[in-house]
Amino acid sequence: MTDTKAIKQRFKSSIRRGTGEAHLIMQSNPSIDFSAAIFNASLNQYADDPQADGSRALYFSADIRKFAIEILERTNRPDD
């Protein structure tokens, strides 16, 4: 298993647990694209007890915003 694949797997696991580790993994690995896992998690409720845990939408919105900004910055770069 490649390092990137292992990191993505750890990210997916941590995002399901909702401990905040996913955000730290994302910050530590800015070159890895976690967008698919973030979008998947934002569409599914992984909380053990959704009624007690509530929504994680606020946390995901910050990460989605960060990815959107990064994508815009990449696509708006002038050609070298």
> What residue spans define the domains of the chain?
3-75
Beta-carbon contacts of 73 under 8 Å, excluding residues fewer than 6 positions away, are: none
Residue 63 contacts residue 23 (beta carbons within 8 Å): yes
Dump pLDDT digits (tens) for 13-45.
988 887 789 889 988 998 898 888 887 877 777
State the pTM of this model. Answer: 0.62
Question: Which two tokens mark 45?
Answer: 């409720």
**27 vs 61: which has the higher pLDDT:** 27
Residues 6+ apart with CB under 8 A from 63: 23, 26, 34, 38
